[in-house]
Homo-oligomer: A and B are copies of this chain.
């Protein structure tokens, strides 16, 4: 663990995923599990076959229960600290696929309080505004409005705090300090926070009064939260939440670092065509110093951010991606060609996304859940 560090708020260095699996104690998604999933979904999402969603906790139990008629619900979320970029979209695409294939409900948490506690430059008001802003991107994904609830922690804080209190009561500071990188100089909001992130894992159980299995699709850096939740929730007579976990989408800059930070060479969902083109043109690739050299020696897709964007987001056809890989290595394909290909894919995707994002403003209320309490009226005599 010397060369990288992964906490929910910080991803540093080149992540060694096999080490991470060991350290976190998560399971690799193997062929047997893929076969089991396929039984229900008929086809497998390329994220599963590409190893982008690569690890899990208790997926077999989720399917056991599902097969018995005890249907799970999905819980995922977003820390609203800025604009949504393609790295955020990736797990949502997969979550949408799960919702469609299994016909299940989704609880989507906007962690506005978290971003306020952890980011010095974000006020609570700003985080609350971003939560609503970011929700437009979630809605634009096309989640079923009848089965999808989006909320922010402060927006339904009566519900959240009442449940979080029960959870917080079972978590000591020493239990979370190390895995969250906290210390005595941390503010007490940060220290309390993980109990808020655990709540949606029991939300449907609380609402219905029955225990309902919960499956959380998320990027692997969030695992420490749910490790704690899995430890505590059974003590409150709830199921342990299951999870299915993905890699980070890399940034477009050199180094191939998988970064959870905002805006490090990221493409935002609101970027216009010129910006997208510029960002991709400047992206770090596995190309050589000159076209001549590349034709002779070939390029290196393994370190190429353009290739990774294709592989992880925009080219789900295995045949095509293999061809690109091969042609690149042989020097038959230059970076310019890949960049244009990726630009077209992104522009196509975002054009549709942006128009759906506009429409999302009209149907916002079909998704958004908020406690309505006017403080002034509440205390009026």
Contacts and interface: CB of A to CB of B under 8 A. Distances in A.
A195 interface: yes
Secondary structure at chain A's binding surface: helix, strand, loop or mixed? helix
A89 interface: no
Contacts of A186: 172-173
Interface string A354-381: 0000000000000001011101101101
A13 B345 CA distance: 74
Contact of A185 (B165, B172, B195, B371): B172
Contacts of A166: 124
A158 interface: yes
A114 to B, nearest CB: 10
B162 A191 contact: no
Contact of A189 (B116, B189, B192): B192
A97 B23 CA distance: 61
- How many copies of this chain? 2
Contacts of A162: 124, 154, 157
A2 interface: no
A218 to B, nearest CB: 21
Interface in A323-381: 369, 371-373, 375-376, 378-379, 381
Given A172-B187, A188-B172, A191-B191, A124 B207 contact: no
A94 interface: no
A147 B375 CA distance: 16
Interface in A176-212: 176-177, 183-189, 191-192, 194-195, 203, 206-207
A126 to B, nearest CB: 12
B165 A187 contact: no
A161 B157 contact: yes
A156 interface: yes
Interface string A19-61: 0000000000000000000000000000000000000000000
A227 interface: no
B169 A116 contact: yes
12 contacts: A116-B169, A117-B165, A124-B162, A124-B166, A157-B161, A157-B162, A158-B161, A159-B373, A171-B188, A172-B187, A174-B184, A192-B192
Given A158-B371, A158-B373, A172-B188, 13 more contacts: A117-B168, A145-B381, A154-B158, A157-B161, A158-B161, A160-B161, A169-B189, A171-B187, A174-B185, A188-B192, A189-B192, A191-B192, A207-B379
